[in-house]
Structures are given as C-alpha cells and as structure tokens.
Amino acid sequence: MQKALLTLGWVILMASQAIAKPLLTPRLQDKLAETIFNAASSYSLYEGFIQDPQLTPSDKSKFTEAVLNNSKICKQTVEDALNQGLPPSTTIKVYDVFDKITLAEALSSCQEIIDHLNVQD
C-alpha cells in the first residue's frame, strides 16, 4: 500500500511539473512571428528609404518613429514570452523570412535596432 501511494505521489508530481511548464502556444507563436517580422521588415525598409534625398526631415522622423515603435513592440512581446517562463533558446519560425530564430536572438536584434535608431536622433 505504501509503495502504491509513493508511486501515485511520484506520478502526480511528474504530471504537475509537466503541466506547469510554459508552452509556446500557436497563438503566442503567431504573435511573436508577427512582431519579429514587423520589426525586421520595417527596419529593412528604413535602411533603404532613409537615404532618399526626396524625403523631408518630417517624413524621415515619422518613418524612424514607426520603425522604432515596431522594434519596441517586438522587444516587449519577446520579453513577455520570456517572463512567462519560455527559455531564451525557444525557436520561432517567422514566416519565410527566418527559418528559425531564438527568443534570445530576436530580443537582441530588436534591442540593436532600438539602439541604432536612438543614436540616429
């Protein structure tokens, strides 16, 4: 009887640990993919268009602000996922742009964009 209770206790403990682990749900995967994509693609456009001599300073400022906001949203979304307990090594498929990118890489990339754009101001 005691062995059965110990076995049952062990099974319950293992099950509770498995359930308690954070999961990369399809909804969270989609949200992360969208925000990472938006930050990466808007920055890519920024690099090309910001050099256009026909852009007014006001247009450049608005465009820079939009790219900065996308990167801040990306950073916050990734930080939220990490704060939920997902490990930094969690990989995200970002449409056809990145086959896989880890949360750590995404966070670092978003921060680099933010830092770069803040220096530009």
Note whether residue 7 is domain-resident. no
Domain count of the fold of the chain:
1
**Residue 115: predicted pLDDT:** 96
DSSP the chain: -HHHHHHHHHHHHHHHHHHHS----HHHHHHHHHHHHHHHHHHHHHHHHTT-TTS-HHHHHHHHHHHHHHHHHHHHHHHHHHHTT--TT-EEEETTTEEEEEHHHHHHHHHHHHHHHHHH-
Tell me what pLDDT residue 7 has: 65
Boundaries of domain holding 76: 23-120
Instruction: State the CB neighbour count (10 A cutoff) for residue 92.
Output: 24
Residue 106 lies in a domain: yes
pLDDT digits (tens, 9 = 90+) for 56-101: 999 999 999 999 999 999 999 999 999 999 999 999 989 877 778 9
Residue 50: inside a domain: yes
Q: How far from chain centre, in Å, is Cα 117?
A: 18
**Residue 108 confidence (pLDDT) above 60:** yes
Q: Return all residues near 106 (Cβ < 8 A) that are at least 6 apart.
A: 32, 36, 74, 78, 92
Kindly state whether residue 13 falls inside one of the protein's structural domains.
no
Tokens of 4: 């059965």
